[in-house]
Amino acid sequence: MATAPTPSAPTSSQSTASAAPTMRHRRRRVEGIYYLFLLPALLLFTLSITLPAAMGVFYSFTNSIGFGDWDFIGLINYQALFTDPAIWESYGFTMLFAVTTVVVVNIVAFLLAVGLTSRIHLKTPLRAIFVIPMVVSGIIIAYVFNYLFSNSLPVLGQKAGIAALSESILANPDLAWLAIVFVTAWQAIPSTLLIYIAGLLSIPGDVYEASSIDGASKLQTLMRITVPLVAGYVVINVIISFKNFLNSYDIIMGLTEGGPGTSTRSIAMTIVTGFTGGDYAYQMANATVFFLIILMLSAVQLAATRGRNVF
């Protein structure tokens, strides 16, 4: 008795080919209600950020003072930026301050994270204490330290007979920036610390057990195991911190207001001061150049973190 032929099962290539159009169709199909929910946020972002930014770029090619009549002057504002000593000074200070603070913040935060993830007593309360500066406003922190640097510290310096501390460090054009680095680092360390703690806690304990069995010292374990395994977190912290410090304004304003003279005036302070001082279009050109720098740093961050198993 003849039996009916059993249909052969489709091959994997046939299954993939038949499923591909369906998958592509499913990926392309988006319910219209989702765009309706997206519309308010998109409209708010456009009106509050995109449109003012586009207008600012346009006015950077004019001689506008922020109101009234204006004339189109082309690239004159941009040409003047590269020959303005005040602009170069603000960029030089900002870069020096940002690089120094990034180094200080990341080294201190990493060492604290190592200590707070080790087998020590009261590490949970200590973690809570160390993150307190992160929740305090920067301008409040700046005013508190301004009082300490201007009053308390000079009094202690005079009583101790230390001439270098007998006067306010904020009045010294060569040392005022160090006070800004200290206060900025004091506030920025907690957020960097939390990221490093997350990275250290993600390292499997078996790795440390194996290194202990092999007889590795604490320093060897730190340098050859811990640091390489949290390298992705280091890259993220360095780039994010650098971008944040480039935009520093409130702490500098509360501590020195850009002084003594203009020795601690950051790029952000220069731009804001120009807006209120009649250099609207000129500082819009400065802001546009500064935006492009931040944009390039963001591109570097994306390239550096792409493919890393972080977060």
Residues of the chain short of pLDDT 70, as ranges, are: 1-28, 305-311
- For residues 32 and 104, give the distance between their C-alpha atoms in angstroms, rounded to a whole number: 49
Alpha helices in the chain (DSSP H): 12-28, 32-45, 51-59, 76-81, 85-116, 123-130, 138-147, 153-160, 176-201, 205-213, 218-221, 227-229, 231-246, 250-255, 267-276, 280-305
Instruction: Give the pLDDT confidence score for residue 121 in this predicted structure.
Output: 73
Instruction: Give the pLDDT confidence score for residue 108 in this predicted structure.
Output: 94
What Å distances lie between residue 5 and 2, 8, 101, 280, CA to CA? 9, 9, 77, 84
pLDDT digits (tens, 9 = 90+) for 232-287: 888 889 888 898 899 889 999 999 988 888 889 999 999 988 887 778 899 999 99
Q: Yes or no: say if 179 and 255 are a contact pair by the CB < 8 Å rule.
A: yes
Instruction: Give the pLDDT confidence score for residue 165 in this predicted structure.
Output: 77
Q: Yes or no: say if 60 and 288 are a contact pair by the CB < 8 Å rule.
A: yes
Q: Give the closest residue to 56 by CA, choosing from 297, 277, 275, 246.
A: 275
Q: Give the closest residue to 156 by CA, choosing from 170, 166, 164, 146.
A: 166
Instruction: Note whether residue 220 is domain-resident.
Output: yes
Instruction: Note whether residue 194 is domain-resident.
Output: yes
Instruction: Note whether residue 30 is domain-resident.
Output: no
Q: Yes or no: say if 231 and 119 are a contact pair by the CB < 8 Å rule.
A: no
Number of domains observed in the structure of the chain: 1
Residue 252: give its domain's CATH number.
1.10.3720.10
Instruction: Note whether residue 228 is domain-resident.
Output: yes
Within 13 Å, how many C-alpha atoms sit on residue 284's CB side? 21
Buried b (16+ CB within 10 A) or exposed e, 163-181: eebeebbbeeeeebbebbb
Instruction: Note whether residue 112 is domain-resident.
Output: yes
Instruction: Note whether residue 151 is domain-resident.
Output: no
Instruction: Note whether residue 167 is domain-resident.
Output: no
- Cis peptide bond N-terminal to 21, omega within 30: no
What's the full length of the chain, in residues? 311
Q: Give the closest residue to 196 by CA, choosing from 310, 104, 58.
A: 310
CA 166 to chain centre: 35
Q: How many CB atoms lie within 10 A of CB 264?
A: 23
pLDDT digits (tens, 9 = 90+) for 192-212: 999 999 888 888 888 888 888
SS3 assignment, position 3:
coil
> Residue 123's domain spans which residues?
84-131+174-265
Instruction: Give the pLDDT confidence score for residue 287 in this predicted structure.
Output: 92
Instruction: Note whether residue 277 is domain-resident.
Output: no
